[in-house]
Chains A and B, each alone.
Chain A
């Protein structure tokens, strides 16, 4: 087999090159128009000073980065719990046995209620309410109960995603497993769940990115994480640039993750032999 490109391959490569050039030119034109036209608006100078002040940016950035570390920590310890709880809820929801009906009912109520209540309300209810029942100082820590709130709220959403993934696994997989004599828990563990998880990578990544931002809600009950720090800086400097700086830090975290998910998805598609135009 030689490496010489076929006529088809050369044609497609030329077409891809042309579309890349067109994309570059149109992007440059649009961005160039924005950069030239926006500063010509009458209020631009005030907006620039209020939102894009270089000095305020430089002064507040180190503090924001430090506060962001708290967000990352909350994210890191919440995510495993969210995955575990949502898997349990999804499995509970899928049980067919009549003896386990209370479990299924609980799972339905769990997802309905916790998806319906805004996370802000939950943060106050659980973050202030539970410790006020009389817990000791270590157990009252708002980081604990803020994380519990995030886990409860997000596991309700991800449970539904996992359930959708489980449902998306073709029925013939279960039929094949049954004909091999596997029990339903073996089927679930070794056949259904692995395939289900591969299918739900995009919506799970979506949820994960959303969680990275909702972590900021923990600031409502006290801890100074990046959004609260930006609020303190805004009050100190009477300037909104700290929020712009915080947004950049968030993007620095979320964009690599979404690109990673895209890459994993593309690799998986290539492996299963799907034919797509690049």
Chain B
């Protein structure tokens, strides 16, 4: 040890390292066999789910007698007007209140709360009964949470400043050299990386606010949002910008369907589905869409070849 004093310091480190490796090895074997046995906190055993609506028939909510609906912080136009969903103004606010009414919760029995986009679609117990923030229904997300039936169908759309490299694009090939930006964890970002596949890596932001700021700072050529958001951004929020185009499914793009997010295996999911089916069948959902989104549905089509 006198010749190699460093050895003295290494031996405890080696012992620790060997122990850790041994532990990791044995953990992998037992990992597959274990089930998730813990029940999610905050929900009771589901009541008998029926097709008819009515408070209490649907299953237990987090707070007895009250339906807790969550949305983003802040909630954007045209989904919620003035960040005040309890007024029922705005497409998503109106849809949420209509669904709640079908389920038997009205007026004071509906309570609003806020979450970030990300936390609601992570696995685990939730602080809400249902959440809506333009969540696209995807298989990956559905592994961790429950989606309701879709309440809206939207295409991806591109917003760019006038005179940018993206202007005048009619096919995906025209967009290959464009610098894109999008919000992290969204289907818009996945659309850029998987379908458009530009030559430059896109910039990624925590939220759409970052993407909009980057457009105005001339750091990106174009940002990708869902169509209504894109139309609002270009029409109202950023001067000198325009929606370059949208990508409908039949032109090879992807179509996003928005659904409510509920906790995995929630007792309320079937009730929410029943409510949405009723609203679709009696035309009320279409009426709400017309009322709040009629200004936000038209844009040129970009085809994918």
Contacts and interface: CB of A to CB of B under 8 A. Distances in A.
Interface string A103-141: 000000000000000000000100111011011110011
A17 B36 CA distance: 48
A24 B12 contact: yes
A232 B185 contact: yes
B140 interface: yes
Interface stretch (A159-167, A197-205, A222-230, A241-249): A222-230
Given A45-B31, A235-B184, A140 B20 contact: no
B18 to A, nearest CB: 9
A236 B141 CA distance: 8
Interface in B19-55: 19-20, 23, 27-28, 31, 34, 36, 38
A50 B31 CA distance: 12
B283 to A, nearest CB: 36
B19 A35 contact: yes
Nearest to A49: B31
A39 interface: yes
Nearest to B215: A132
Contact of B143 (A140, A228, A238): A238
Nearest to A239: B123
A23 B12 contact: yes
Contacts of B5: 278
B293 interface: no
Q: Do most interface residues of chain A lie in helix, strand or loop, or is the interface mixed? A: helix
Interface stretch (B201-209, B246-254, B294-302): B201-209
Interface stretch (B83-91, B146-154, B216-224, B255-263): B216-224
Given A16-B8, A20-B8, A142 B143 contact: no
Contacts of B8: 16-17, 20
A278 B122 CA distance: 50
B20 A31 contact: yes
A interface bracket (residues with beta carbon within 8 Å of B): 35 or more
A135 B219 CA distance: 9
A224 B214 CA distance: 14
B38 A42 contact: yes
A181 interface: no
Interface in B177-212: 181, 184-185, 189, 201-206, 210
Contacts of B27: 39, 48, 52
10 closest cross-chain pairs (CB), A and B: A235-B185, A222-B203, A131-B217, A35-B23, A128-B213, A132-B217, A45-B34, A24-B12, A140-B218, A20-B8
Interface of A: 13, 16-17, 20, 23-24, 27-28, 31-32, 35, 39, 42-43, 45-46, 48-50, 52, 54, 124, 127-129, 131-132, 134-137, 140-142, 219-224, 228, 231-232, 234-238, 278
11 contacts: A13-B1, A28-B19, A45-B34, A128-B210, A137-B218, A142-B203, A222-B220, A224-B202, A232-B189, A235-B118, A278-B5
